[in-house]
Amino acid sequence: MKSKIPETLAGLKHKLLHDHLGPRLVTAAVVGILVVGLTLSAQAASYTVQPGDTLWLIGQRFGVTVDEIKQTSGIWYDLLYPGDILTIPDNPPTRTTSMVSRGSGRPSEREVELLAQMIMAEAEGEPYQGKVAVGAVILNRLQDPAFPKTLTAVLYETDAFEPILNGAFYSTQADPDCIRAATDALSGIDPTGGALYFYNPSTAWSPWVFSRPVITQIGNHVFAK
């Protein structure tokens, strides 16, 4: 019996080009059909890429790997654009998404979002390295006995962060740079060399924070032990 797959693909390609959706989407769609139709037996869900999304963050959201998303979506590139359509496999292997500490385990999507949100609130306008450094300070506290042992407890600790005190944190939305900085910090990158505190010397007022041993300065922030 003659296969109808080539005819189906040809018809779809003609329709997509006729609708002016572009060669990249045409290629992804055609390859996606081949991959999904020939290699997957389970059902899959469609996902529309949102601003700030990365393959890694989408994978965290659905509990699948980047490679699994690429395979089911029929793509080979990492760059995403808002509005792109991905195919997410249903029934992925069970994985843990609970963050134990920086550099170990896999953080949940919510943990990445919260860390990125605080980086945005504290370091908007700072150089990228300074954004990663702020994230690293927050995560360093998880490994110090003087601080709480969960990320949310560190972020919401009384009098710890100005954006919590003045309420700015709650109306802040992280941009892609801050999301990337959060993931870099969570992977173990620490430009501060183990700092537990940071402050802007032109706006800080606490004599106590000025007494802490300074490690380095990145952008407008001083980082201290």
Instruction: Please write the tens of the pLDDT for every residue from 127-164.
Output: 999 999 999 999 999 999 999 988 989 999 998 999 99
Instruction: Return the higher-pLDDT residue of 156 and 11.
Output: 156
Q: Which of 59, 125, 139, 130 is nearest to 92 (CA)?
A: 59
pLDDT of residue 94: 44
Is the model's pLDDT at 98 over the cut of 70?
no
Tally of residues, the chain: 225
Indicate the pTM of the whole model.
0.57
The two three-digit tokens of residue 183, written as one number: 């993931």
- Phi and psi torsions of 139, nearest 5°: -75, -30
Neighbours of 225 (CB within 10 A): 14
The whole-number average pLDDT for the span 94-103 is 43
- Comparing 177 with 35, the larger pLDDT belongs to 177
The closest alpha carbon to 173, from 125, 117, 122, belongs to: 117
In terms of pLDDT, which residue wins out, 96 or 223? 223
* Helix residue ranges, H only, the chain: 5-18, 23-39, 55-62, 66-73, 109-123, 128-142, 151-155, 162-166, 176-186, 207-210
What are residue 7's phi and psi, to 5 degrees?
A: -65, -40
**Residue 43: per-residue pLDDT:** 52
